[in-house]
Amino acid sequence: MAGGTTQVIDAELAQVRQRLVGIEGVKLEASVRELVRVSVYVTEQKQVTIHLMFPENYPHQPIVVELKSKSLSFKLLDGLCKMCDEEARKNVGQRQVVLMVMFVKTFLQENPLCVCNEEISYIKRNLVSEDDKVILKQKTSQIVIKVKQGSYFMNLRVTVPNDYPVHQVQCEIEDCNFPPLLKTFFQAQAIEISRQCVQPPLKKKPKDPPFQPKPSLRPVCEFLIRDCCKRYPKEACQLCKDNVLSEDPEAPTREPKKRLERVYCGHLFHSGCLNTYMKTPPFIGGKKCPGCGCQIFHEKWKVSPELAEARWAHKQARQRELAEVVDFLE
Ligand SMILES: [Zn+2]
Ligand SMILES: [Zn+2]
């Protein structure tokens, strides 16, 4: 039989049945001497089933707690279980069932970031360096991330909504010293990446499985930290192989030909290098990025191969004319 004196346990079970009725999100599923099972629901992603077992000598021993959840990570449950154990130890001698249930419920309510616990671990392990900072703000369900690369930095504030991952994270670049052109692109693309995690594509392929919203924290951070902040300070021009961003963020180059251009694939170029490349044949099949082979899309050079060809021919003809004039003058 279960430990503890049966009278003590029966009295507590009677109290548990009374006290847990009418608490929002709490459902008593079983309450017998061998096991009390309670489900706690805060949101779809924040739900836990608590198993409580009375040990020998209860309540002079801490109650035994096991946690199960379909949505929360194993690591988080393991940590929470240890916290429950500590809490139970503090309350030996008293009735512990209701205390434990309320402890778990309060934890889920006060730690909204628990739903992205695994993603946060991933960010800390794989995306940031030792000097960078990842600060969790459970009260406001936000994560502040401060990352650096060389003399460049980026400070992010990510808000995790209550119904995450059904809705996407809101990610804001609070501060950074990247050129405005890049910052605008970083921010817009981050919004787009997070949107794509939760909204089905407009063109659905018939064989695709039904769309499911995906967690957006990790993809957004991979993009902003790994693909932007850590990457661009070191990025070379795909044509001349010189660095594109200035060594000193406060002193960007004034030379027009050395100004930064970013193309669709994300590679960087010097304005002058890209201009020459885009206006030089071959044009057939469109101009490709030498770095990755992607077609180059850019506002400034939005011309068809035919038009580019015509312009090239015109320029060549003009140069021949000039040369002839020069010949004539000699
Ligand atoms: Zn260049
Ligand atoms: Zn490229």
Task: Encode pLDDT of 233-285 as tens digits.
Answer: 999 999 999 999 999 999 878 888 999 999 888 899 999 999 999 988 888 78
Angle 202-208-211 from CA coordinates, rounded to 5°: 60
DSSP bridge pairs for 68: 49
- Cα of 241 to ligand 1 centre, how many Å? 6
Q: Which residues contact 93 (CB under 8 A, 6 or more apart)?
A: 59, 60
Q: Do residues 15 and 135 touch, judged by C-beta distance below 8 A?
A: no
Q: Which ligand is nearest to the CA of 259?
A: 1
Return the sign of the alpha-carbon dihedral for residues 23, 28, 32, 37: negative
SS3 157: strand
Residue 145, classified by CB atoms within 10 Å of its CB into exposed (0-12), middle (13-18) or buried (19+), is buried
- CA 295 / ligand 2 centre spacing (Å): 8
Average pLDDT over residues 205-216: 88
**Ligand 1 center from residue 240 Cα (angstroms):** 4
Domains of the chain: 6-110 (3.10.110.10), 113-200+211-234 (3.10.110.10), 239-330 (no CATH)
178 Cα–ligand 1 center, Å: 18
CA angle 253, 254, 256 (to 5 degrees): 105
pTM for the model stands at 0.83
Whole-number Å distance between alpha carbons of 61 and 55: 7
Q: What is the pLDDT of residue 53?
A: 97
CA distance 172 to 153: 14
- How far does the centroid of ligand 1 lie from the alpha carbon of residue 244, in Å? 7
More confident residue, 205 or 104: 104
Classify the phi-psi angles of 189: left when phi > 0, otherwise alpha if psi is within -120 to 50, otherwise beta: alpha
d(CA 211, CA 213): 7
CA of 67 to the centre of ligand 2 (A): 48
Q: 304: pLDDT confidence band, cut at 50, 70 and 90?
A: confident
Asked if 93 and 59 count as a contact pair (C-beta separation under 8 A), the reply is yes
Q: What percent of the chain has pLDDT over 70?
A: 95
Ligand nearest to the CA of 290: 2
Q: Which residues contact 201 (CB under 8 A, 6 or more apart)?
A: 211
- At 155 the three-state DSSP class reads strand
How far does the centroid of ligand 2 lie from the alpha carbon of residue 183, in Å?
A: 19
In the prediction, which pLDDT does 323 show?
66
Residue 240 CA: which ligand is closest? Answer: 1
CA of 250 to the centre of ligand 1 (A): 20
Cα–ligand 1 centroid distance for 235 (angstroms) = 11
Report the chain's mean pLDDT, rounded to a whole number: 91
- Report the distance separating Cα 220 and Cα 191, nearest Å: 8
Say which ligand is closest to the CA of 239.
1
Which tens digits make up the pLDDT trace of 109-131?
999 999 999 999 999 999 999 99
Give distance in angstroms: CA of 316 to centre of ligand 1: 24
Lowest mean pLDDT among 26-35, 135-144, 303-312: 303-312
At 214, list the tokens. 């995906």
